[in-house]
Amino acid sequence: MSDNKTKSLLETAEKLRWDVGSTFHEGVVESIYADAAHIADRAVNQKEKSSYFDLDRTIDGLVTSRLFGFPLMVLMLTVVFWLTISGANVPSSMLATLLLDNLYPLLKTASSTIGLPWWLDGLLIDGIYLAMGWVISVMLPPMAIFFPLFTLLEDLGYLPRVAFNLDNMFRRSGAHGKQALSMAMGWGCNAAGVIATRIIDSPRERLIAIITNNFALCNGRWPTQILVATVFIGALVPAHLAGIISALAVVTIALLGIVLTFAVSWGLSRTVLKGEVSTFSMELPPYRPPRILQTIYTSIIDRTLPVLWRAVLWAVPAGALIWTSSNVVMGDLSIAENIVEYLNPFGILIGLNGVILLAYILAIPANEIIIPTILMLTVLSSRMDSFGAGAGVMFELDSLEGSLAVFQAGGWTLLTAVNLMLFSLIHNPCSTTIHTIYKETGSAKWTLISSLLPVAMGLTITFFVAQIWRLVGGVG
Amino acid sequence: MSNPILALTYASLLLATSFVLFRPDEGLFWQWQRQRQLTHRVLSEDALKHIYKNELINNVTTLDSVTGAIGISGNQTAILLNEMAKHGLLQVEGTEFNLTKRGRVSALHILRAHRLWEHYLAEQTGFVESEWHERAELHEHNMTLDDIDSLSNSLGNPTHDPHGDPIPTSRGDLVYHGGIPLSSQEIGQRLHIVHLEDEPKTLYSQLVALGLHPGMEIQVLEIGQHFVRIWAAGDEHVISPLLASNISVVPVSEPDLDDMDESERLSNLDIGQSCRVMRISKQCRGLERRRLLDLGVLPGTVIKAEMRSPSGDPTAYRIREALIGLRKEQASMISVVPL
């Protein structure tokens, strides 16, 4: 074709574009769809359904009814948590016995037999190995139970109904109903929750879901909550009420997390992530009998193991850091003690203490090792010789009385306990989650915001709680 | 241990200060940042745009009108215009300013960037309509010619922005919509909206709140001295003549799908009721529209309302054998005939 001809053709095309108007494109798309629908209607025969009884409709009527919809959701969630926590106890302690009580002394003996220098032995076995062992024994069993249960509910078709029920509340806070699902996933593990936000199409609402996922109290933080609640809050009431009161305290914290999720979503969608809530069009699939074996297999391969593997990798630097900081001496004290001294005034000001703050810095890689780290650091800095296994060696105590004794020696009060529970809910995500957020958003800015926003909130909230507590005469 | 009252006071002061500084939109820090962005280049580009728009409607551009449009002092404007004349962007005749050929090309590029941005915001983001213009104002100045072209390509080279303004092509071609203000129309005539003026923001927000959009069909019912009564979006509205003059319309040439007698919207359907789809409103655009089409919401499709969320919204509809949850705002975009 000659150049002239091309040019005049292009010019005609350009002119025609203005003549056909702005809705031309959509008109074409619509007529293509209409044709497709017409062909399908002609060629496909629909089976007549019996109108007497439709199981799907009956179930839907129940799970989305005004009366039973929300109670059923809470019930379902409670059952999942109860199965997770009570079911994980036994395998967790078995793993702990194997990795920490049996294998650890064996490794120690082996290293002294081959004559490893004390610092290498400490760094590798007391630091890195113990941190890894701890993460595996605390993290693996609950995740191996929670994720398959969660996937089963998903497979069954129940979870889309949860999003359907909750969408209105999320819409009002400027977020998407599917955030209900990523939030629920976050109760298992925030890193998995962040990955689960992929189901949200709109980038704005997906970011909101990612940033607020940290307010879903993850499995790794439940043990801290339960221990502190039992030791301090359960002790306030008569023994027969202790169990229920401390359980209620933990549930209150988890509910506070949900409230914060809505509040922060609301705040974000009115400031940095301004915008209208995009559309909600979600298929509510028919109920199907779940494929149990396949579900368990895929959820362990796709969700549990990758998350666990990343957590174990992150435990390596954490363990090394914890051991090194408590064993390298600067001046008269170890690095860890120096930092604790330095952080203590600020820690006390916000109703915590230097040990807790340092533990939260050292244990950024994994929330699972918070309690062992706090115990070890408390024993180290208050020079108690009757507990623990030496500087930099994390441990946990079998008896609640033992934990209480250590905490009291560290100067803990009821305020410390309450603020620790608050701070455990409202602080930076663990490094596994931060890493995942970076991979999912591809943006250093949003990763930074998701990491720093909760810490800033946590410090502010604990600060105000502490001041008001002291003002009304509480001891702290 | 520190005194709690003292600590509380300090912290409250700190929080108050950061609120004043960083409060969304109106915080002093953001205001300062916006001020800083008003560079020389931004101002001269805004002046170009103003003169160009005036030329389109045969208005005379004076020093005062430029000063008013870009919001700096008269003195500064004079210096700015002088400099622009020196660069060959405009020529001065008495008190009048006119664009040179070069000035017109630059103005078209900025207009192109602005309208493409508005198109992008409308089709692919969740920002509310009244914010499109302001956000585009910010972005239009930070784009190279290549950026503008690739944005246009990624949007499928649209011809009109969401307000109905034509988008100049990369060669500077532009066809004006040719609409006349609604305020000077005959009563009873059926009209198509071709353009909604997006400035000033307060008036535009009112137009948006009425549910008006380019491509919609409306009718003038009565023109009084201080009001105009119109029929639009299935309802009667009384608007001020000022508002009416911001709506440009052309007479309907051929009887189109009818926006006039919208009987029912999908969102008004009771649970258990069925209906047949008439069409999806033109207000529903871009991804949102395509998603509805993907789900099989087409003229003629039968839809049944199955159940409502316990919190009242969304509602699940049976569409082509699938159960789909839709929010109220989306369902109200679909016109239906109840069966």
Q: What is the mean pLDDT of each run of 10 residues along chain A (476 residues)?
A: 82 75 73 84 73 77 87 86 83 88 88 86 87 84 86 87 89 88 88 90 88 91 87 85 85 91 91 72 85 86 83 86 86 86 91 92 84 86 70 74 84 92 93 91 92 94 92 72
Residues B76, B39 share a domain? yes
What is the full DSSP assignment across B86-123? HTTSEEEETTEEEE-HHHHHHHHHHHHHHHHHHHHHHH
CATH number at residue B197: 2.30.30.90
* Contact between chains at A168 and B313 (C-beta distance less than 8 A): yes
Pairwise CA distance, residues A87 & A141, whole Å: 8
pLDDT reported for residue A315: 84
Residue A349 distance to chain B (closest CA, Å): 7
Length of chain A: 476
Query: Hey, what are A463's tokens?
Result: 């600060």
ipTM beyond cut 0.90: no
pLDDT reported for residue A256: 94
Element (H, E) at A82: helix A69-96
A111-149 per-residue burial string, b: 16 or more CB within 10 A, e: under 16: beeeebeeeebbbbbbbbbbbbbbbbbbbbbbbbbbbbb
Residue B174 lies in a domain: no
Pairwise CA distance, residues B110 & B128, whole Å: 23
pLDDT reported for residue A264: 94
Distances (CA, A) of A382 to A20, A343, B73: 82, 15, 68
Residue A347 touches partner B, C-beta closer than 8 Å: no
Choose from A279, A457, A462 for mutation: most chain B CBs within 10 A: A279
Residues B92, B42 share a domain? yes
Pairwise CA distance, residues B65 & B85, whole Å: 17
Contact between A269 and B312 (Cβ < 8 Å): no
- Nearest C-alpha neighbor of B41 from the set B96, B92, B83: B83
Residue type, B278: M
Q: Which residue has the tokens 């939260």?
A: A360
Residue B273 lies in a domain: yes
Strand B322-326's sheet: what is its strand order? A281-283, B322-326, B315-319, B302-308, B274-280, B334-338, B264-265
Residues B330, B307 share a domain? yes
> Kindly report the CA angle at A426 between A442 and A416, in degrees rounded to 5?
150
Residue B190 lies in a domain: yes
- Nearest C-alpha neighbor of B99 from the set B42, B171, B47, B166: B47
pLDDT reported for residue B260: 46
Residue spans of beta strands (DSSP E) within A32-131: none
> Kindly report the CA angle at A438 between A436 and A444, in degrees rounded to 5?
160
Choose from B123, B192, B250, B298 for mutation: most chain A CBs within 10 A: B298
Pairwise CA distance, residues A223 & A219, whole Å: 8
Contact between A322 and A391 (Cβ < 8 Å): no
Residues of chain B scoring pLDDT < 70: 1-2, 25, 37-38, 126, 175-178, 233-234, 253-263
End-to-end alpha carbon distance in chain A? 88
Residue A7 touches partner B, C-beta closer than 8 Å: no
Pairwise CA distance, residues A349 & B4, whole Å: 9
* Contact between chains at B7 and A467 (C-beta distance less than 8 A): yes
Q: Which residue has the tokens 């949102």?
A: B288
pLDDT reported for residue B257: 52
Q: Which residue of A has its CA nearest to B323?
A: A284
Length of chain B: 339
Query: Hey, what are B45's tokens?
Result: 């580009």
> Kindly report the CA angle at B129 between B125 and B134, in degrees rounded to 5?
90
Contact between B220 and B191 (Cβ < 8 Å): yes
In DSSP terms, B319 is beta-bridged to B303, B322
> What residues contact residue A338 under an 8 Å CB cut-off, 6+ apart?
A330, A331
- Three-state SS for B325? strand
Distances (CA, A) of B231 to B178, B217, B334, B335: 22, 9, 19, 17
Pairwise CA distance, residues A305 & A189, whole Å: 12
Domain that holds residue B238: 180-251
Between the CA atoms of A358, A364, A368 and A374, what dihedral angle is there, to the nearest 10 degrees?
Answer: 0
Contact between A391 and A380 (Cβ < 8 Å): yes
Residues B239, B187 share a domain? yes
Residue that finishes a domain, picked among B99, B119, B134: B99
Residues B266, B238 share a domain? no
Contact between A247 and A312 (Cβ < 8 Å): no
Q: Is the dihedral of CA A331, A336, A337, A342 positive or negative?
A: positive
Task: Please name the member of A33, A60, A164 whose beta carbon is closest to the beta carbon of B314.
Answer: A164
Residues B246, B268 share a domain? no
- Nearest C-alpha neighbor of B336 from the set B301, B307, B308, B306: B301
End-to-end alpha carbon distance in chain B? 74
Helix ranges (DSSP H) in A271-413: 292-299, 305-327, 335-349, 354-362, 370-382, 400-409
Residues B284, B225 share a domain? no
Residue that finishes a domain, picked among B99, B119, B139: B99
* Contact between chains at A285 and B169 (C-beta distance less than 8 A): no
Residue B77 lies in a domain: yes
Residues B278, B213 share a domain? no
Residue B27 touches partner A, C-beta closer than 8 Å: no
pLDDT reported for residue A440: 92
Residue B327 lies in a domain: yes
Residue B172 lies in a domain: no
Pairwise CA distance, residues A304 & A302, whole Å: 6
CATH number at residue B49: 1.10.10.10
Residues B266, B329 share a domain? yes
* Contact between chains at A168 and B298 (C-beta distance less than 8 A): no
Residues B314, B266 share a domain? yes
Residue B292 touches partner A, C-beta closer than 8 Å: yes
- Please count the structural domains in chain B: 3
Residue B82 touches partner A, C-beta closer than 8 Å: no
Pairwise CA distance, residues B197 & B212, whole Å: 12
Chain B hits for A277, Cβ within 8 Å: 126
Contact between B316 and B307 (Cβ < 8 Å): yes
Pairwise CA distance, residues A230 & A318, whole Å: 27
Residue B108 lies in a domain: no
Residue B144 lies in a domain: no
Residue that finishes a domain, picked among B58, B80, B99: B99
Burial status of residue A17 (CB atoms within 10 A of its CB: 0-12, 13-18, 19 or more):
middle
Residues B330, B266 share a domain? yes
Peptide bond into B200 cis (omega under 30): yes
Interface of A with B in 143-162 (CB under 8 A): 160
Contact between B292 and A281 (Cβ < 8 Å): yes
Residues B240, B282 share a domain? no
- Residue B27 gets which letter from DSSP? S
